[in-house]
Amino acid sequence: MENTAVFVKAPQKIDDLLSAYTGEQCQRFIIEKTIILPKIDFVNFAEDLCMDRWFIEENRFLCRIDDNGVWHCIHAKTEKLSTGILIMSRNAAHPEYAAYCPSV
């Protein structure tokens, strides 16, 4: 089974991702790297997706869309939750696109 998600352009907070999670317009994705954040850092990230983040800056080179249309992204989450946020950020230190990831 392929992993798919609904990516939102320029999201501001996790609520933008949750409201888009309808199963429509799904993109195939591959997680290139999972970033485990302390809970407080993940909450801060989830509530302000527009702010530049060090973990995106250091890993944005992993984000791309390949010739088959598969989105290669990074995955931010906390240690205790299986849910997280998929990040597509090719040229910025914040998500250009992001998607809610219920589990992988």
- CA angle, corner 49, sides to 46 and 20, nearest 5? 75
Structure tokens at 5: 């998600």
Mind listing the pLDDT tens digit for each residue in 32-63?
A: 999 999 999 999 999 999 999 999 999 999 99
Predicted TM-score (pTM) of this structure: 0.90
Mind listing the pLDDT tens digit for each residue in 64-88?
A: 999 999 999 999 999 887 789 999 9
**What sign has the CA pseudo-torsion 13, 54, 44, 38?**
positive
Domain range list for the chain: 4-101
Reported in sequence order, the residue ranges of the chain that DSSP labels E, i.e. its strands, are 4-5, 8-9, 27-37, 64-65, 71-78, 84-88, 97-101
